[in-house]
Amino acid sequence: MTLLTTLADILGPQGLLTDPADMARWTNDWTGYYPSVPLAVARPTTTQQVSAVMAACHAAGQAVVPVSGNTGLNGGASAMGAIALSLDRMTAIRNVDPDSRTAEVEAGVIISRLHDAADAHDLIFPLTFGARGSAMIGGALSTNAGGSNVLRYGNTRDLVLGLTVVLADGRIMDLMGRLHKDNSGLNLRHLMIGAEGTLGIITAATVKLFTKPRAYATAMVAAASLDAALTLLHRIQAATGGAVEAFEYMPANYIDTHLRITPGTKAPFADRHDVNIMIEVGATAPRDATPLDDGSVPIVTLLEETLAEMMEDGLILDAVTAQSEQQRSDMWARREAASEVIFDRRPFVNTDIAVALPDVQTFLTEARKRLLALDPGADDLSVVHLGDGNVHYTAYPSKEDPDLSAAIREMVDDVVQDLGGSFSAEHGVGLSKLDSMAKRKDPVALDVMRAIKDALDPSGILNPGKVIPPKR
């Protein structure tokens, strides 16, 4: 009780929750597979309060689990018996600077709010995914989130110029700035991004903003194969100077499920196709985005002409180009319904892997073959960021069986390893991939990670038991 009294004094009457009913929203995540009961939920409003909380917990040896929007899928915010440190009251967008193309934000800013703030200056913050309306920038930083625009703009790590971080003992590390070049020693900013709160708690960041495209060319494309789809990607990238922003693969069973669970939605094509691609190209140059006298937009015409050529070659079977913002929104809504589509059935084994672009089809074919060998009654479903090789592969075992689920995850890891890929692409490691880390990660790399963890958090209070497996 002494620690909780200290935290209550630091945070004030609204800043510390201990009643189970008040803490309910912090006791589970989207999957429902990682329930936990925190000792308390701390809700600071400033970096200084985070510092004071960490200093008190460090002195008491109390575990602390940072929580943002709680939209994770791998148990990274599970806080059984810990202080759940929620950043949900640190919501200031401190500054948007059009001249430097940067924004300074606190960790609790919801990503869609940052989108709106950038849009007010005719700029964009390009990180986007289905949970953007509830996910917070702090969580995206902690997992090095990806999303649908990685192809053009990179992962979260590529979008950050500065950080403020509170260390395990409460010290505040000031890495804030707007510099694109700072070669003064080790890159501690990159070390913190993707560490899932195991090395420090990110409380603020300086993020990059980009010129808002003046026009978009967006289409749904039925390709003859994934190889044909990649040919389309490479042709459009070459023709536009790398302006493809999204290139998303939705197989037929994804489309089928989306139609079934979403009343009023329409199929992308009159016929059912195996390879459905959503492509979006963003044009910032006036020559590509300014409508001509006949009303046509050059970037849209370029995409349509390329699709027509490939249709003549038999590489594309059908295509629909968005002719209005509503049609574009409908195409995006189909892709961004992925969580609802994936979690429509239970039990499931959700994975998030990356392979080289030409290996995506090999992975999908081999994983399904091995899945059915393990469990003839199983099924699977995927949605793929095809432009960067990130496959969200979900298996549906025929029964709820932890051993079978573990065998399926091991099988997926085997296929990924055979292809030289990664078992973790953009959702983080959390709890669900600890075994994969222990078995698949280079042992020397693991030793280095443990050494860094021990140096920055010798008491092991920051998000314990996540990301870095113990030495066996």
The two tokens of residue 133 are 């309306």
Same domain, 326 and 349: no
Read off the DSSP letter of residue 110.
B
Spatial separation of the C-alpha atoms in residues 328 and 339, rounded to whole Å: 20
The CATH number of whichever domain residue 128 belongs to comes to 3.30.465.10
Q: Is residue 452 part of a domain?
A: no
> Cα separation of 464 and 196, whole Å?
10
Where among 66, 86, 106 does a domain terminate? Answer: 86
Of 338, 365, 393, the last residue of a domain is 338
- Looking at the structure, do residues 233 and 306 belong to the same domain, yes or no? yes
CA 310, distance to chain mean position in Å, is: 32
Domain identity same for 334 and 376: no
Last residue of a domain, one of 181, 196, 211: 211
> Do 207 and 219 belong together in one domain?
no
Reference 384, options 226, 217, 153; nearest CA is 226
Answer yes or no: do 194 and 134 share one domain: yes
* Torsion angle in degrees (nearest 10) through CA of 309, 315, 319, 323: -40
Question: What is the pLDDT tens value at each position of the chain, 472 positions in all?
Answer: 699 999 999 999 889 999 999 999 999 887 777 889 999 999 999 999 999 999 999 999 999 999 987 777 788 888 999 999 999 999 999 999 999 999 999 999 999 999 999 999 999 999 998 888 889 999 999 999 988 899 999 999 999 999 999 999 999 999 999 999 999 999 999 999 999 999 999 999 999 999 999 999 999 999 999 999 999 999 999 999 999 999 999 999 999 999 999 999 999 999 999 999 999 999 999 999 999 999 999 999 999 999 999 999 999 999 999 999 999 999 999 999 998 999 899 999 999 999 999 999 999 999 999 999 999 999 999 999 999 999 999 999 999 999 999 999 999 999 999 999 999 998 899 988 999 999 999 999 999 999 999 999 999 999 999 999 998 7
For the chain, the domain total comes to 4
Residues 247 and 317 in one domain: yes
Decide if 23 is inside a domain: yes
Residues 50 and 112 placed together within one structural domain of the fold: no
Residue 459 lies in a domain: no
365: in domain: yes
Amino acid identity, residue 389?
G
**Is 453 contained in some domain?**
no
What is the spatial distance between Cα 445 and Cα 286, in angstroms, rounded to a whole number?
A: 47
Write the CATH number for 357: 3.30.70.2740
Tokens of 214: 């003046």
Whether residues 360 and 416 share a domain: the answer is yes
Look at residue 115 and tell me if it is in a domain. Answer: yes
Q: Is residue 269 part of a domain?
A: yes
251/307 same-domain check: yes
The domain in which residue 163 lies consists of 93-211
Residues 104 and 73 occupy one common structural domain: no
- Residues in contact with 106: Cβ distance below 8 Å, sequence separation at least 6, in sequence order: 87, 90, 91, 92, 93, 94, 203, 204
